[in-house]
A and B are shown apart, each in its own frame.
Chain A
Amino acid sequence: MSAELWTEKYRPKTLKEVVNHGEIMSRLKRFVEDKNLPHLLFVGPAGVGKTTTILALAKDLYGPEYMNHILELNASDERGINVIREKVKNFARTAPIQSGVSFKILIMDEADSLTTAAQHALRRTMERYTKTCRFCLIGNYSESIIEPIQSRCAVFRFAHLSENDIRERIKHIAELEHVKLLDTGFNALLEASSGDLRKGINILQTAAAAKGGYVDEEVVLSVLGHVSPKEVREMVLLSLKGRFLEAREILRRLLLEEGLAGEDLVKQIYSEVLRLQIPDVWKVRLSETIGEVDYRLTQGASVEIQLGALLAKFALAGEEMGQSNEARGKSLD
Chain B
Amino acid sequence: MKPEGSPWTERFRPRTLSDVTGNKEALRELVDWVNSWRARVPQNRAAFLYGPPGVGKTSSVEALANDLGFDLVEVNASDYRTAKRLETILGKASAQTQTLFGTRRMILFDELEGISGQEDRGGIETILIIIKETRSPIILVATGSPEEWGELLDPLMKVSEIIEFRHIPFRDIVQRLKALCREVGVEAEEEVVELIAEKSSGDLRSAINDLEALARGRKALTLKDVYWLGDRDRKGELSEVLRRIFSAKSFREAREAFAESPIGYEELFEWIYENLPYAFDDPHDLAEAMDALSHADVHKKRADKTQEYRLLKYMFNAMTAEVALTRQESKGGGLIQEVRRALLRFGLPPTSLLIQEGGEGLIVKPTRYMGNDWQPLNNLLRGFGGRWLRGEGCWVIPYFRPPGRIDHLRRSWWSRRMLEDLAMKVAAKCHISKRAALREVVPYIRAIFQENEKSGVSVAQWLELDEGTIKWLRGK
Contact = CB atoms under 8 A, between A and B. Distances in A.
B450 A226 contact: yes
Interface stretch (A26-34, A71-79, A92-100): A71-79
Interface stretch (A127-135, A178-186, A272-280, A310-318): A310-318
Interface string A289-305: 00001001001111011
A318 B451 CA distance: 38
Contacts of A227: 443-444, 446-447
B412 A256 contact: yes
Contacts of B294: 293, 296, 301, 305-306, 308-309
Contacts of B273: 305, 308
A209 interface: yes
B440 interface: yes
B438 interface: yes
A5 B290 contact: no
A165 interface: no
Contacts of B277: 244-245, 248, 312
B38 interface: no
A245 B279 CA distance: 12
Given A228-B443, A301-B297, A316-B287, A74 B456 contact: no
A305 B293 contact: yes
Interface in B293-326: 293-294, 297-298, 301, 305
B298 A3 contact: no
A64 interface: no
A210 B451 contact: yes
A306 B452 contact: no
A300 B291 CA distance: 17
A315 B280 CA distance: 13
B290 A51 contact: no
Interface residues of B, number: 54
Interface string B431-462: 11111101111011111101110011011011
Contacts of B29: none
Contacts of B405: 252, 304
Contact of B444 (A8, A202, A242): A202
Interface residues of A, number: 61
Nearest to B449: A209
Interface string B243-284: 000000000000000000000000000000100010000011
A252 B427 contact: no
Contact of A76 (B289, B291, B416, B435): B435
Contacts of B459: 2-5
B420 interface: yes
A2 B462 contact: yes
A294 to B, nearest CB: 13
Given A205-B448, A226-B446, A5 B441 contact: yes
Interface of A: 1-5, 7-8, 46, 51, 55, 72, 74-77, 109-110, 198-199, 202-203, 205-206, 209-210, 222-223, 226-228, 242, 244-245, 248, 252-253, 256-261, 264, 293, 296, 299-302, 304-306, 308-309, 311-313, 315-316, 318-319
4 closest residue pairs by CB, A with B? A76-B433, A312-B290, A3-B458, A309-B294
